[in-house]
Amino acid sequence: MSRDRRTSRLAAIGTIGALMFSVLGLRMWFLQVVDAPALEQRVQANKTRTVKLLPERGRIFDREGRVLADNERILTITVAWEAMRDDDARRELFTRLAPVLDLPISDMEDRYQSNRYSPLLPMPLKEGVGEDVALYLIERVEDFPGIDVTNQWRRDYPYAPLAAHVVGYLGAITESDADQYRDLGYDLNERVGQFGVEKIFEPYLRGTPGFVKYEVDSRGAILSEVERVEPVAGMDLQLAIDLDLQQYAELALETQLRLRRFVETCQARDDNNLPVKPQFPECQNLKAPAGSVVLSNYETGEILALASYPTFDNRWFTSTLSGDKFAQIFPRTDDPDRSILVNRAIQGQYNLGSSFKPFVVYAALDSGQLPGGPTYTYLDRGTYTLTSIDEQTCQVVKCIYRNALCGGSRYPCRYGRVGVEEALAVSSDTFFYKIGEEIFSERGGQPILQEEVRKFGFGSKTGIDLPFESAGRVPDKESKRKLVETGVLLEGESPNYLVGDNVQLAIGQGLLAASPIQLVQAYGALGNGGRVNRPLIAVALLEPGTPDSAIVGVADLSKSRVALQLNEPNVIRNLEIDPEFLAPIKRGLQRVITGPGVDNERYHATTGERLFSSYPYEVLPIAGKTGTAQGAAGLPWNDSSAFAAFSLDGNQPYVASAYLEKSGYGSRAAAPVVKCVFMALAGAVKTPAVAPSNPLDITTSFAAPDRKLPDNRCLGGGTTGGRD
């Protein structure tokens, strides 16, 4: 019986063994016959390693070919990974390298631990070292095992800080963007565009990487080169920016802001000759911390100059700064007045004040709100009382609105009988208060005014080819509700859109938020008869390798080849403005510049005629509008200044705007800057020559050096006493 059991066990074991050998044989057959190609591919992959070869980045030029972004060959100190595997050896090596490279040991250790560098290529320790340092290390390789010197590219900005907010800069790939760039085939140690056109045109400027495939041994050491495909350089980029005009706009803006800081402004007084808000000092200096200027061609939409202040030198981002030094240059701050890396021309969210009024006039005319259309007149007595709100409600809400105080007095200006032209010329607030109330109350609260002004681009992005543009806000029921829900508006503010909100919108105040680029886009539509163009920073992408000209720092665009034209006419919409409506608007804006004002009891000058009395109008006729945006707490030293103007000569189709934060009246701060720009266009002032930058001063603690106009007389001129 026991023998039978042994026999059974042996039979079972034999069966199991036979099955195991059968399965093993079947697997061996599968691997050798069916899966052999895949296995061979994996074996070969283990024998080879592929290393990406990065291309030379495309250069960036202004419209005349001046090189705004270039590439410089630099020496980089690298160290082989094998020399750093042992912790003690690595620390000893870094300790000896620190004084030679003038680099903290912690910085080198951070690079080693970052996992950002290819394991097949030596790790870069320091970029841009001098030849003396490189020679010192090469001659002492026995003392610095694994150290080598390689040639690499570094971005250079020859005219920095000019157009820094336009050109932008390169930076390391951030952790939040890592997956996105990895999916696009980037190595995480690459530097990419982080701002300006460097960011927008990153895929074109970068070029096409090549690769080299190496045969390696089991330890990863390179045995031989198997295959090489050379990289293709990135496309060059030509901008619409004119560097002469860009520099002049930046100098005029910075000079005027500095001058405005020395201006003292005082509060208005009430009927008892007391300050309106006695808890605040009666007088205070203007802060004038920031601003922007935009100059465009209103026929093509091309941007000839775009300035934002405070500005920065984009060479800081190619320098080897320590973290502490970088934090000193670009401090983190919640104070918007001190924000440097903000392009105020496209990101600013501002009340526009009276510079918004031409579009309110258009809205009233186009919607049929004004009886008699362009011939409508209104008797301006200095104050306007809402008629759509009952007397009892007026006890708790504001129902009486006034014009700006007249000539430094404590009484609002009274302009008498005014039409569209006069209301724009002298900036009659009551004329627009009436429009704001009636277009709302007589239309059942419908957003008629909002729909009309949105046609000019307010409340939506312009589509300019720069990153981080803000859409702004044309206030309506939905947007106000969101502002209340998110706590942006003060507690207790009604979530309902009220007639008072529309009255404030009609003079460019209240909940309106717009950028200087939107103001230029809208005024450009007035200049060209109704075409709302997309603003264009770039003109063309050029095939790689645009040759240099005989002039240092200037490319020969006559020998370039266009790969992609970017400045084709790009009309967002054509409003086809009725000439009967456009004519009085243009005449009113022309009178802002030339006069006359209105004569009612006394002569009231327009908001710009004294300032522009020395302007060469016959050379380049212009029309424009001042604006003063009332600041926080209604204090005059918080008022911001706006001005926009366009050429009346179709052969010189320019449009410009300026916005100076906390700088006072529009006629006294922003308007002089635009006046200087138009005088430069008219040839009435000499623009200073553009010269390559001096070497970057890495000992300074400022993001950019102070600059000023060599001759600031264009900023001068008579001024009015009114708010605008």
Q: How confident is the model at residue 52 (pLDDT cuts 50, 70, 90)?
A: confident
Q: Do 85 and 137 sit in the same domain of this protein?
A: yes
Asked, for residue 42, whether it belongs to a domain, the answer is no
Tell me: pLDDT of 507 over 90: yes
Same domain, 61 and 152: yes
pLDDT for 559 equals 96
Structure tokens belonging to residue 107: 């910085």
If asked whether residues 143 and 215 sit together in one domain, one would say yes
CA triplet 261, 610, 674: central angle to 5 degrees? Answer: 55
Tokens 């200037």 sit on residue: 554
Residue 2's Cβ-side half-sphere holds a number of Cα atoms within 13 Å equal to 0
Top-ranked range on mean pLDDT: pick from 107-111, 147-151, 305-309: 305-309
Q: What is the pLDDT of residue 329?
A: 92
In a domain, 7, yes or no: yes
| Residue where one domain finishes, among candidates 235, 251, 266 | 235
Do residue 20 and residue 125 come from a single domain?
no
> If we measure between CA atoms, which residue out of 174, 172, 175 comes closest to residue 155?
172
> Quick one: 102 and 210 in the same domain?
yes
**pLDDT one-digit tens code per residue, 377-412:** 999 999 999 999 998 999 889 999 999 888 767 889
Q: Lowest-pLDDT range, 76-85, 144-153, 242-251, 698-707? A: 144-153
Which pLDDT band, with edges at 50, 70 and 90, does 213 fall under?
confident
pLDDT, position 225:
85
- The residue-averaged pLDDT of 491-500 equals 90
Q: How large is the average pLDDT for residues 599-628? A: 95
Q: Do 71 and 159 fall into the same domain?
A: yes
Q: Which among 532, 514, 528 is positioned nearest to 659, based on CA atoms?
A: 514
DSSP conformation class of 186: -
pLDDT of residue 119: 76
Q: How far apart are CA 440 and CA 404, in angstroms?
A: 23
Contacts of 53 (CB under 8 A, 6+ apart): 209, 210, 211, 212, 228, 229, 230, 231
Q: What is the pLDDT of residues 112-121, one digit of tens each?
A: 988 777 777 7
Does 191 map to a domain? yes
Q: Kindly report the number of other CB atoms within 10 A of residue 150's CB atom.
A: 14
- pLDDT of res. 455: 98
For the domain that residue 123 is a member of, what is the CATH number? 3.90.1310.10
Out of 35-44, 100-109, 381-390, the most confident range is 381-390
pLDDT in tens, 252-261: 999 999 999 9
Q: Does residue 76 share a domain with residue 211?
A: yes
Predicted local confidence at residue 502, as pLDDT: 97
- pLDDT tens digit string along 268-284? 765 555 566 667 788 89
Contact call for residues 188 and 116 (beta carbons, < 8 A): yes
Q: For residue 533, give the nearest of 383, 638, 655, 679 by alpha carbon.
A: 655
- pLDDT, residue 135, reads 85
Segment 476-488 mean pLDDT: 94
pLDDT digits (tens, 9 = 90+) for 339-372: 999 999 999 999 999 999 999 999 999 999 999 9
- Asked whether residue 542 carries a pLDDT value surpassing 60, the answer given is yes
Last residue of a domain, one of 210, 235, 260: 235
What share of the chain in percent tops pLDDT 90? 67
**Is residue 262 in some structural domain?**
no
For residues 170 and 23, membership in a common domain is answered with: no
Note the pLDDT of residue 42: 52
- Does 90 lie in the same domain as 20? no
* Res 220: pLDDT: 60
Of 177-186, 363-372, 588-597, the poorest mean pLDDT is in 177-186
Find the range with the poorest average confidence among 142-146, 206-210, 245-249: 142-146
Q: How far is CA 373 from CA 366, 367, 531, in A?
A: 9, 10, 22
Distances (CA, A) of 376 to 420, 577, 601, 651: 7, 18, 22, 32
Instruction: Provide the domain limits for residue 11.
Output: 2-34
What does the pLDDT average to over 34-42?
54
Contact of 468 with 539, CB cutoff 8 Å? no
- Which range in 138-147, 358-367, 690-699 is most confidently predicted, on average pLDDT? 358-367
For residue 535, cis peptide bond before it (omega within 30 degrees of 0): no
Q: 30 and 56, same structural domain?
A: no
In a domain, 112, yes or no: yes
- The verdict on 11 and 76 lying in the same domain is no
Confidence band for 2, pLDDT divided at 50, 70 and 90: low
Contacts of 4 (CB under 8 A, 6+ apart): none
Taking the mean position of all CA atoms in its chain, how far away is CA 512?
Answer: 20
Please count the structural domains in the chain. 2
Q: Which residues contact residue 142 at a Cβ distance below 8 angstroms, ignoring those fewer than 6 apart?
A: none
Tell me, yes or no, whether 29 and 142 share the same domain: no
What pLDDT, on the 0 to 100 scale, is given for residue 270?
Answer: 59
Higher pLDDT residue, 707 or 217? 707
User: What residue ranges in 96-141 does DSSP mark as E strands?
Assistant: 123-129
Domain boundary among 208, 235, 262: 235
Q: Which of 454, 158, 464, 455 is CA-nearest to residue 308?
A: 464
| pLDDT classification of 9: cutoffs 50, 70, 90 | low
